[in-house]
């Protein structure tokens, strides 16, 4: 496997990691806090 192919694969792996991690963070961004806030306001 050539040097440039390795680099490309590493870059794709990095891209996948960054995308998955940041999207997962977005999807799990404090939904419980929102609920708590509503509950707190209701109290």
Partner 1 sequence: MSNDEFQPRSAVKFSGTYSPGNTKRDLRAAPLERISRTRVGIKRKQRTGSGKTRAWLIIALTSPLVFSAIKSVLNGNAFAAMGNLGLFAMFCFAAFTIRSGIDAAMEYEAHDFALAPKFPRKIIGAALTGAGLLLTCWTGWGIGLLQSAGFGIMGFASALFAFGPDPLKDKGSTTSTGITPDMVISAITEAEEKIGGIEAAGASLQDRPLRDRINRITKRARDILSRIEDDPSDLRRSRKFLVVYLDGALEATQKYVKSQNDLSGEKDIYIKFRSMLDDMEREFDDQHDKLLKNDRIELDVEIDVLADRLKTASRL
Residues that bind partner 1 in the complex, under the rule CB under 8 A: 6-7, 9-11, 13-15, 17-19, 21-26, 28-31, 33-34, 37
Q: How far is the CB of 31 from partner 1 (least distance, A)?
A: 7
Tokens read off for 16: 């996948």
4 contacts: CB under 8 Å, gap ≥ 6: none
Q: How far is the CB of 26 from partner 1 (least distance, A)?
A: 4
Q: How far is the CB of 43 from partner 1 (least distance, A)?
A: 15
CA distance 10 to 19: 14
């Amino acid at each position: 496997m050539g040097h440039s192919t390795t680099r490309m694969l590493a870059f794709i792996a990095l891209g996948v990691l960054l995308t998955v991690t940041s999207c997962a963070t977005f999807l799990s961004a404090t939904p419980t806090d929102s609920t708590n806030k509503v509950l707190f306001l209701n109290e």
